[in-house]
Structure 1
């Protein structure tokens, strides 16, 4: 599971994350929601050891990310799908990641098939659409067959078929007992995908409960309406686009 305790991140310009405490349990899809500037991406980066907390801890399977012996086999993450060498093919990109993490070629072929990229695996990344790059990012996240999957805006750039595929994939992985955390701005998609929600605003925890309970607790006819009711006072924009 993912355990966040009193997680805080301060910058000179202010506080991005303010004393967050929550747990992401295995066996369900947890939606990570909040307005722009809420601190979602900063929180994810601290969970993954990419940013150091000012205070508090973030652990995966009881250990900080930096202490994991083979992190790719424990945590798979999608952050910036376009962050790859434009001259490399999908197969080359995944093979390089596999080699540096002690994984065999069989996993490369498996995730290419799993993400629908087998036929274009030899093409250079510069020729890929945003949706294809998104699928390649998800393939990289799945490469180590991890127990924990963290996806930041996974349906960005995907066509309707791709959106349904992501939804089905997240639910299937959770059904296998894995821990799945999905950050998204699309309330309609989260209503169909996530059974549990962690909602933050201005870096602070606003809600941590099931999707059904969340909608009922905030007098909404649907998730989007309930979300707007809860977060209307928590919307803020920071210089640099912090999320």
Structure 2
């Protein structure tokens, strides 16, 4: 389970996360939505111990990330598909992660096959397309077979087949009891993927519930109504 308890995070005069309290439960895909600058990535970084809250607590299974004994075995994350050394091959990148986590190297072949990267495992990542980097990021997140996944825009750059494959994979993992948190700007994809939605704006909680509880009309209509006063800019603004 993932939990934020009255978390606030500021950068100078900017409040990125404002007294945010949410709980992400296992057994479902939770979509994490909000306009640009809403605080989604900061929230994920707080959960992963990459940022420390000014107040409140960001917890993974009841503990801060830095207190986890074997963090890679508890949480798999994809925040930036480009954060891989371009000179490494896909197999070498996964090998480095496996060694750091004390995993059997046989797991590398398994996740390469799962993510469709077996045929390019020996290629340097610098030559990968964005979609291939996304698949490698997913392979990295799944490497230790963790019960919790935190994914920021995981289908960005994927073709329709890749988007559908990712959707089916994540829904299958949630159905087997995993905790899956996905940040995305693709409202239509969240309507197909998420069992539950958390919507924030300007770092504050706007909605927390199943998609059909957000309001009348389409999910896009409900989302736009919720976030109307939380966007950084609008067409026609000067």
- Provide TM-score, normalisation by structure 2: 0.96
2:154 maps to 1:154: yes
1:47-126 counterparts in 2 under 5 A?
47-126=47-126
Runs of 4+, deviation exceeding 6 Å = none
For 1:224, the equivalent position in structure 2 comes to 220
Shift in Å, 1:127: 1.1
Question: How big is each residue's C-alpha offset from its partner over 1:42-69, in whole Å with a ceiling of 9 and x where there is no partner?
Answer: 0000000000111110111111110111
Question: How big is each residue's C-alpha offset from its partner over 1:123-143, in whole Å with a ceiling of 9 and x where there is no partner?
Answer: 111111000000000000001
Secondary structure of residue in 2 paired with 1:188: helix
Secondary structure of residue in 2 paired with 1:30: strand
Secondary structure of residue in 2 paired with 1:156: coil
1:1-243 counterparts in 2 under 5 A?
1-214=1-214, 218-219=215-216, 221-236=217-232
Q: Give 5+ residue unaligned stretches, structure 1.
A: 238-243
User: 1:90 and 1:50 mapped to 2: Cα distance?
Assistant: 24
Secondary structure of residue in 1 paired with 2:112: helix
Shift in Å, 1:78: 0.4
CA RMSD of aligned residues (A): 0.8
Secondary structure of residue in 2 paired with 1:62: coil
User: 2:218 and 2:165 mapped to 1: Cα distance?
Assistant: 23
Secondary structure of residue in 1 paired with 2:59: strand
Shift in Å, 1:13: 2.6
Shift in Å, 1:155: 0.5
User: 2:8 and 2:102 mapped to 1: Cα distance?
Assistant: 34
Question: How big is each residue's C-alpha offset from its partner over 1:172-213, in whole Å with a ceiling of 9 and x where there is no partner?
Answer: 010110000000000000000001001000000000011111
- Provide TM-score, normalisation by structure 1: 0.95
Q: Give 5+ residue unaligned stretches, structure 2.
A: 234-238
The alignment of Structure 1 onto Structure 2 pairs a total of residues equal to 233
User: 1:119 and 1:13 mapped to 2: Cα distance?
Assistant: 48
For 1:240, the equivalent position in structure 2 comes to none
User: 1:51 and 1:22 mapped to 2: Cα distance?
Assistant: 17
